[in-house]
Amino acid sequence: MQPAVINIFEKAAKKAGRILIRDFGEVENLQIQSKSIGDFVTNADIKVEKSIIETLKYYYPDYSYITEESGTIKGDENTIIIDPIDGTSNFIHGIPHVSLVIAKMTANEITDGIIYNPILNEFFWASKGQGAWCNNRRLRVSNRKILSDCLIGTGLPFGDGIYKDYLLEIDEILKVSAGIRRLGSAGLDLAYVASGKLDGFWEKDLNLWDISTGILLVTEAGGKISKLNGSKWTTKDRDILASNNYLHNDLVGKLSLQ
């Protein structure tokens, strides 16, 4: 049975998800007309987030909020973290791999969260000690143990985000795995590790709203989260390595380049 907090997050996500679906359809129209869609998409992010906050504020008026679009709202020690559209580049290009992410954090620990892809109607949730789920199906990480059988997700930096060693990291993983996927939504990448679709995932320079729910999904599905060098990940860290557990040491070996 879903905990009450997940029911409330689901209500907020599904309501805001209808706005996202409507705007996603509109992006496809704008695309065809070759109109500029930058401002339109920024508006979609803001509208979706406004709707989520409006629903959640009714139930949790005293909580703190950390949001991608509206910044931080100071409240009590319980914090809700929101990414209204994770996968904005996909959204702009009409690729239906996008999600809404909402998580609850108390004392620097993520305790509950949801990731919702309204276009594919996939609703992921996890609560501490209560497992990871997608549309009422319990999730388990994969049990592949040999890297050469494994698909590993990542997020590639671009523009100002490019860092020195990313080509080396890719080289290391490509040589030993069954391939790399860059799907474009860090939240869904982690949900896919939790679902056993991807066997591992790494990315640097992420924000907490990208991965908040994802880390809980992975651990509740039996997987492991750490920094790239294998040390303990905390909510202050921006780099992340996730795996089905079996592969973790091998991946740390390949990705600890400095």
Judged by the rule CB under 6 A, the positions of this chain that interact with ligand IPD are 83, 86-88, 155, 184-186, 203, 206, 210
Nearer CB in complex with ligand IPD: 79/99: 99
For Ca ion, the binding residues in 41-80 under the rule CB under 5 A are 68
CB of 137 to ligand IPD, least distance (A): 24
The number of beta carbons lying within 10 Å of the beta carbon of residue 99 is 30
Q: Using CA atoms, how far apart are residues 195 and 204, in angstroms rounded to an integer?
A: 22
Q: Which of 49, 86, 189, 203 binds Ca ion (CB under 5 A)?
A: 86
Tokens of 164: 């020195």
Q: Which does 53 bind (CB under 5 to 8 A by kind): Ca ion, ligand IPD, none?
A: none
Nearer CB in complex with ligand IPD: 88/244: 88
Nearer CB in complex with ligand IPD: 75/180: 180
Tokens of 48: 């979706």
Burial of 35 (0-12, 13-18, 19+ CB in 10 A): exposed
Nearer CB in complex with ligand IPD: 17/155: 155
C-alpha distances in angstroms, 92 versus 18, 48, 72? 17, 15, 26
CB of 192 to ligand IPD, least distance (A): 12
Our finding on whether 210 is near Ca ion (CB under 5 A) is yes
How, if at all, do strands 151-154 and 64-67 pair? unpaired
- φ/ψ of residue 83, rounded to 5: -120, 110
Burial of 237 (0-12, 13-18, 19+ CB in 10 A): middle
Residue 181 Cα to chain centre, angstroms:
15
Contact segment (CB under 5 A) with Ca ion among 189-197, 208-216, 224-232, 233-241 equals 208-216
In the complex, residue closest to ligand IPD by CB: 155
Nearer CB in complex with ligand IPD: 83/220: 83
> Rule CB under 5 A: which residues touch Ca ion?
68, 83, 85-86, 210
